[in-house]
Amino acid sequence: MIGSIAFVIWMYGLMVVMGIVCSPALLGPRSWSKACLRLWLKLVFGGLRLLCGIRYEVRGDRYRPTGGALVASKHQSMFETLAFWQILDDPAIILKKELAYLPFFGWYAMKVKNISVDRSAGAKALRGMLRQARDRATEGRQVVIFPQGTRLEPGERESYKPGVVGLYSSMKVPCVPVALNSGLYWPPHGFGRKPGTIIVEFLEPIEPGLPKDEFLATLETRIETASAALLPQGPATDTTEAAP
């Protein structure tokens, strides 16, 4: 618990300090803010390893996208919201609009052109999300969505929201499912963190063009099956591995 509290202080304290020091980058090209964000994350994950004993490992490297793609990931903690900026080349993560207003984090998140969504705006929000996602994919970026819409405890199930189907149909690029077990070590809520290795596993892409129902069923089956296999009681997987 002491290490976990120290890490929270480190992460947010560093956010404030670097947010101020790097603030001129907000007035420059996107690449400046992107470099500041990556440096912050490098220090954050260094602190996570040192203070909490948590590392992460990336599997399924042959499926990791490098160009325009839709990435649909399991969501168990704040870890993956941050880690995809380390793991992928140039992601655009779909975030709640409220996060865009957070001091420092929100400013840089919007400067690097993540995608904010106002969940209360209904169909209008969906149209805006689809438009931004198409633009980001055209730019060769990876659009990241958490299709269940909320953080879940390891092993917990929740229905997949229709937003991911809309993105798949609209973007017309491969959808790469991602399984993970981050909630075992960085829980969805609270300060407590446990030592261990978080696994982020890229799965076989789903090519564009499937009927909506078939796509959603395929996506859910792949993510849930692979995520369950990463839990302590799950069977071993035979995916390739690549150290981040």
Q: Confidence class of residue 244 from pLDDT cuts 50, 70 and 90?
A: very low
- The pLDDT, as a whole number, for residue 142 is 94
C-alpha–C-alpha distance, residues 3 and 168, integer Å: 41
């101020």: which residue's tokens?
A: 20
Structure tokens at 110: 């919007």
Neighbouring CB atoms inside 10 A of 236's CB total 7
Q: What is the pLDDT of residues 164-188, one digit of tens each?
A: 998 999 888 999 999 999 999 998 8
Range 200-226 average pLDDT: 95
- The pLDDT, as a whole number, for residue 236 is 44
- 116 vs 229: which has the higher pLDDT: 229
C-alpha–C-alpha distance, residues 56 and 69, integer Å: 23
Three-state DSSP at 55 gives strand
- The pLDDT, as a whole number, for residue 106 is 80
Dump the DSSP string for 68-87: SEEEEE---SHHHHHHHHHH
Q: What is the pLDDT of residues 105-134, one digit of tens each?
A: 788 888 888 887 776 656 676 787 888 888
Three-state DSSP at 236 gives coil
Q: Confidence class of residue 83 from pLDDT cuts 50, 70 and 90?
A: very high
Q: Is the pLDDT of residue 243 over 60?
A: no
Q: Is the pLDDT of residue 54 over 80?
A: yes
Name the percent of the chain lying above pLDDT 70: 91
Contacts of 63 (CB under 8 A, 6+ apart): 176, 202, 203, 204, 205
- The pLDDT, as a whole number, for residue 111 is 87
Per DSSP, what are the bridge partners of residue 55? 197
C-alpha–C-alpha distance, residues 160 and 165, integer Å: 9
- The pLDDT, as a whole number, for residue 122 is 63
Torsion of CA 199, 200, 205, 209, to 10 degrees: 130
